[in-house]
Amino acid sequence: MLAMFASTHARDLIGHEPGICFTGQGWIEQSQRDVVWEVDGTQIHGRDYVFQHPTGAVNRRVVSILVTPTGATSGDPRLVAEAASDFRLEPFGALAISLSTDHQPSDEEWQQTTGLFVQQMKEIFATYRRLQIW
């Protein structure tokens, strides 16, 4: 499943990231780790999560990439919150992208899948960076 949220005000995306949204729906966070993909000489930063459904029946793997008002990528929602607290940056908006699966891919399969996904999204990241004046 793919979810993309864009906002013209960075503050609107505070709290809309997997670590908050999934746990708010009762999912139990099993793990998280920061990840970096290299795409045409540019590093794209994100966060990889594993959540367990409250019934224990399903695990969900989620990768999250946040794009701050400066055009930087991260998996850390604090960077969006910091930008939202700066009146000069906040109006430039933010972008949140998540890719998830209930399939239980191996780490290698998931790295390949997310790597291909990020490669396909490279124009969105590049365009977003070009739109920023900072």
Q: How far apart are CA 81 and CA 87, in angstroms?
A: 12
pLDDT of residue 87: 75
pLDDT of residue 117: 92
pLDDT of residue 132: 53
Mean pLDDT across the stretch 84-94? 73
What pLDDT digit, counting tens, does each position of 109-128 carry?
999 999 999 998 888 877 76
- In total, the chain counts a number of residues equal to 134
pLDDT over 50 at 73, yes or no: yes
Q: How far apart are CA 123 and CA 23, in angstroms?
A: 31
pLDDT of residue 90: 66
Strand partners, 44: 37
Q: How far apart are CA 22 and CA 43, in angstroms?
A: 26
Out of 4-13, 33-42, 67-76, least confident range: 4-13
pTM of the model: 0.84
pLDDT over 90 at 46, yes or no: yes
Q: Collapsing DSSP states into helix, strand and coil, what is residue 75?
A: coil
Mean pLDDT across the stretch 66-77? 83
Q: Collapsing DSSP states into helix, strand and coil, what is residue 103?
A: coil
